Amino acid sequence: MPRTVAVLGGGISGLAACYYLIRAPQPPKVILIEASQRLGGWIRSVRGEDGAVFELGPRGIRPAGELGARTLLMVMLGGAWLQALESGGQKLSQELFQQQAQKAVATQLGLKKPPTQSLVSLHKSCIPQYTLGHWQRLEAAAQFLAKHQLPLTLAGASYEGVSVNDCIESGRRAAAQVLNAIPDL
């Protein structure tokens, strides 16, 4: 009777964990639990009416052709700049973000023409920020799980790297850890 492994969250980390679990020589039964209506988490593309594809998370679109002609640009704004605006009482609006993005594109790439189409999304707290003491807290959590023999393994952007590559690797390592912990699968 194969053991059952539950994977919580169908972002790239959870999907990678599922992939590596079911590729084991004697795979466990894998149940993926996803809170939303779709898989992929932050990896999400949306298509505008004219067919232009916007990436809401990591960049998947590579500009083709002459720069500025048929080019889709992604401008990410945030961090200290956003915090300064918020603490200064500035009202955050789609127009403000678009203005800032166009200003950045004009200054840094020399593209002065306004875009033919644009999409502005505000994603609060979308990329985990590792604050001081992060690694110690992670180590303490790992020790707690080991000490209490909890059948729980952590993977994902909140722990050891936010890039897509890091997330896939964390899913792979979590799957390997689970498979090692239950050798009688």
Ligand X SMILES: Cc1cc2nc3c(=O)[nH]c(=O)nc-3n(C[C@H](O)[C@H](O)[C@H](O)COP(=O)(O)OP(=O)(O)OC[C@H]3O[C@@H](n4cnc5c(N)ncnc54)[C@H](O)[C@@H]3O)c2cc1C
Binding site for ligand X (CB under 6 A): 8-14, 33-36, 41-43, 57-59, 123, 126-127, 156-157, 162-164, 167
Q: Which is nearer to ligand X, 105 or 164 (CB)?
A: 164
Residue 64 beta carbon to ligand X: minimum distance, rounded to whole angstroms: 18
Helix (H), strand (E), coil (C) string for 1-64: CCCEEEEECCEHHHHHHHHHHHCCCCCCEEEEECCCCCCECCCCEEECCCCCEEECCCCCCCCC
Closest CA to 120 of 104, 99, 98: 98
Q: Which is nearer to ligand X, 98 or 185 (CB)?
A: 98
Q: Which is nearer to ligand X, 108 or 183 (CB)?
A: 108
Residue 49 beta carbon to ligand X: minimum distance, rounded to whole angstroms: 22
Count of Cβ atoms closer than 10 Å to residue 43 Cβ: 16
Token pair for residue 29? Answer: 């039964």
Distances (CA, A) of 127 to 22, 83, 146, 163, 181: 28, 15, 28, 9, 30
Residue 161 beta carbon to ligand X: minimum distance, rounded to whole angstroms: 8
3-class secondary-structure state, position 164: helix
Residue 1 beta carbon to ligand X: minimum distance, rounded to whole angstroms: 26
Q: Which is nearer to ligand X, 18 or 164 (CB)?
A: 164
Residue 169 beta carbon to ligand X: minimum distance, rounded to whole angstroms: 11
Q: Which is nearer to ligand X, 55 or 145 (CB)?
A: 55
